[in-house]
Amino acid sequence: MTPVFSHGDLRLYLLNLLDEGPRHGYDIMQALSDRTGGTYTPSAGTVYPRLSKLEEEGLVTKSVDGRKTVYEITDAGRAEVASRASDLEGIEAGLTDSVRLIADEVRGSVRDAMKSLRADLAAASRAETADAASAPRTASDDTRTRSREQVHRADALVSEFRARIRSDLRTHVARGGELAASVVDDLERAIDDASRSIVRALKG
């Protein structure tokens, strides 16, 4: 997959993040993920050694705040960020391009996976049709066919219900509405009741 940062660029970008204000390690990793739209989430093994190197070079200091280690840029670090402003602009531009390329690669992988899945489903459907055509049909076969059709119909109904409920709940919350626990409790009870009714009908 396309690399997000070229060699040496992450070091300068870390300095740039700390130039915005002191940060602890997890905050730095989260900021990198946010700036890349979630396409790049560095590991602790990637970030902390670079922070230690910056500290050795006198560009960063660290202090302990409770259980967190906070990193802060020094005057020398600020001077390097200021002197390499044009490099940072290039990194930002490259970052945008890298994120776009990664997104394109992910979309391509998803399209390929969906194409492969559709081909597999089509092949399975053809094989099932061929098997059904070569065997004499019985009343039991007809029952299974009708049952499969109803299963597909039930799947569609459940999917539609799920999508509609999720949309209604998220829209309500997004508009500032309160989602009380009692509402979710009612939903859980209604689903349980419907499930028990279906089980009774299947056994009946």
What is the block-wise mean pLDDT of the chain (204 residues), using blocks of 10 residues? 65 92 91 77 88 95 89 95 88 69 64 71 72 65 79 80 76 68 78 80 76
H helices of the chain, in order, are 9-19, 25-35, 44-56, 75-83, 85-134, 139-174, 181-203
Any idea which residue has 């009714």 for tokens? 197
Any idea which residue has 């089509």 for tokens? 122
- pLDDT, residue 197, reads 80
User: How far is the first Cα of the chain from the last one, in angstroms, to the nearest whole number?
Assistant: 55
CB 22 within 8 A of CB 71: yes
Distance separating alpha carbons of residues 175 and 172, to the nearest angstrom: 5
Query: Model's pTM, two decimal places?
Result: 0.46
- pLDDT, residue 36, reads 73
9-19 helix and 25-35 helix, angle to the nearest 10 degrees: 110
Any idea which residue has 């539609």 for tokens? 160
